[in-house]
Amino acid sequence: MLAPKGMVRSMKKVINGLRYDTEIAEKIGADHGGGDCTDFGYWEEVLYRTPRGKRYFLHGQGGPRSNYAQRSGYSMWKSGERIIPMTVDEAFAWASEHLDGDDCEATFADMVEEA
Write down the domain spans for the chain: 17-108
Question: What's the whole-number average pLDDT of the chain?
Answer: 89
Q: At what angle do helices 88-98 and 101-108 cross, to 10 degrees?
A: 160
> By the 8 A CB rule, do 79 and 89 touch?
no
- Three-class SS state of 100: coil
| pLDDT at residue 8, as a whole number | 58
Sort 34 into a burial class: Cβ within 10 Å, 0-12 / 13-18 / 19+.
Answer: middle
pTM of the prediction? 0.85
Short-list 64, 21, 73, CA closest to 43: 64
pLDDT tens figures, 71-97: 988 889 999 999 999 999 999 999 999
Among the residues of 38-80, which ranges form H helices? none
